[in-house]
């Protein structure tokens, strides 16, 4: 009898082509998880258990607490499943928690909020040991201007102009209720919380905030982006390595 198990997963996305499995490559987080679960259950590769993630992080993006669920036909305990997965998963993917849950639990459809953190670095020294997890800035942005712009970015809006997929056919209306900017030494961290995010949305909002902080864009551009849905009016797409999924709310 199949049982639904909920997993909390962290990963360093540097080597991977994103979360979602893709044809022609086995270097995805989802793919690696399913390979191990197929081995554990004795399933053929084409019949591997399907892992459902709370979201689909892009290539190079990291996660501290991605939530996923999977239906498994096994008599192993949740603790044994977690131990098996961590034994055979690559060293840059970890299952941090595992528990059996209701059959109706769906990690994506049941999620009500997500927190992402984008980390920048500005300073005379190089972030040698954190270079895979921060984006190095060549100029120091004006954080006060960024905070003013962040207020305009929050709320319920049509974020089409902040979406990296020009062929998006589903609704692009989202609620971003919090954008918080913190500085600690050379690190500038931007926290985003909302009910969901479009493809590249956090990275485009980050690029927009940085360009406003540098004086390359005016904060009044933000209402125009919402009104027109014109991606070309927004800032650059910030590099993937600075982005990390921190938490999924249920």
What the block records as the tokens of 66 is: 């991605």
pLDDT in tens, 205-224: 999 999 999 999 999 999 99
Q: Does 30 share its domain with 66?
A: yes
What is the DSSP code (8-state) at residue 47?
A: G
Specify the CATH number for the domain of residue 174: 3.30.70.660
Q: Does 93 share its domain with 119?
A: no
| Listed residues 101, 136, 161: the one ending a domain | 101
| Listed residues 73, 101, 129: the one ending a domain | 101
pLDDT in tens, 38-77: 999 988 877 889 999 999 999 999 999 999 999 999 999 9
Q: Can you give the pLDDT at residue 167?
A: 86
Residue 106 lies in a domain: no
Residue 81: partners with Cβ closer than 8 Å, 6 or more residues away: 5, 40, 72, 74, 98
Q: Does 173 share its domain with 117?
A: yes
Residue 191: partners with Cβ closer than 8 Å, 6 or more residues away: 115, 116, 117, 178, 179, 180, 181, 182, 246
Q: Report the chain (250 residues): mean pLDDT per 10 consecutive residues.
A: 95 96 91 95 87 96 98 94 98 98 96 98 95 97 98 98 91 97 97 97 98 97 97 98 98
By residue range, what is the domain housing residue 186?
113-249
Q: Is 249 a catalytic residue?
A: no
- Which residue among the candidates 12, 26, 58, 230 is catalytic per the annotation? 58
What are the E-state strand segments in the chain? 3-11, 52-53, 62-72, 93-101, 113-121, 135-136, 155-158, 173-184, 187-194, 243-249
């Amino acid at each position: 009898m199949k049982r639904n198990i909920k997993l909390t997963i962290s990963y360093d996305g540097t080597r991977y082509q994103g979360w979602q499995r893709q044809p022609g490559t086995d270097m995805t987080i989802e793919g690696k998880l399913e390979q191990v679960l197929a081995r554990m259950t004795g399933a053929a590769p084409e019949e591997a258990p399907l892992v459902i993630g709370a979201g689909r992080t892009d290539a190079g993006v990291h996660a501290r607490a991605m939530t996923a669920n999977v239906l498994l036909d096994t008599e192993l305990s949740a603790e044994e499943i977690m131990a098996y997965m961590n034994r055979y998963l690559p060293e840059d993917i970890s299952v941090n928690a595992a528990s059996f849950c209701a059959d109706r639990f769906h990690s994506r459809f049941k999620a009500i909020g997500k927190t992402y953190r984008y980390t920048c670095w500005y300073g005379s020294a190089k972030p040698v040991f954190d270079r895979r997890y921060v984006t190095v800035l060549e100029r120091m942005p004006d954080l006060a201007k960024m905070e003013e712009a962040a207020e305009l970015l929050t709320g319920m809006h049509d974020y089409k102009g902040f979406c990296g997929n020009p062929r998006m056919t589903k609704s692009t209306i989202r609620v971003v209720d919090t954008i918080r900017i913190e500085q600690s030494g050379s690190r500038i961290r931007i926290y985003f919380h909302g009910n969901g995010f479009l493809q590249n949305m956090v990275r485009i909002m980050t690029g927009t905030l940085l360009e406003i902080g540098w004086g390359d864009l005016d904060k009044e551009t933000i209402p125009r982006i919402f009104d027109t849905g014109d991606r070309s009016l927004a800032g650059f797409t910030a590099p993937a390595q600075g982005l990390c999924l921190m938490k999924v709310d249920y």
